[in-house]
Structure 1
Amino acid sequence: MLQQLLTFFERHSFGVCTYLGERFNISISKIRLFFIYSSFLAVGFPLIFYFFAGIVLDIRNYVKRSRAGATDL
């Protein structure tokens, strides 16, 4: 049950930790732990940043896909 829950969140998450990990060459698990611990210390502010970054990354991917589709014509 726990494994299914973890798999669900990994598939449907925004990919912010993965993007930051690849961009700065840092372990993804360390970034996730940073978000978790800093959320407790900063009363949820990192969660707001995480969701904002996720929305920006989704918009960025959408624009890239729409540009690629427009150039295929």
Structure 2
Amino acid sequence: MLYNLRLYLERNGFYVSSRLADRLGIRAKNVRLFFIYATFATAGLGFVFYLTMAFWLKLKDLVYTKRTSVFDL
């Protein structure tokens, strides 16, 4: 059953990059490489965005701490 599913996906599911390459008039290899590089770039940007937000939230917590009294300065 798993073999049949794999065979079906290989025949029909992975035809996307070949079909897009035919439409654009370029090689399918270049389309696949573009998708691979775009995946790495967006995953990297998401991680950088996460670290930046964590830094800013930590900085905000250090600056805007709630004081219980005027004498806590």
TM-score (norm 2): 0.47
Which protein has the larger Cα radius of gyration, Structure 1 or Structure 2?
2
TM-score (norm 1): 0.47
Work out which structure has the larger RCO, using CA pairs closer than 8 Å and 6 or more positions apart in sequence: 1
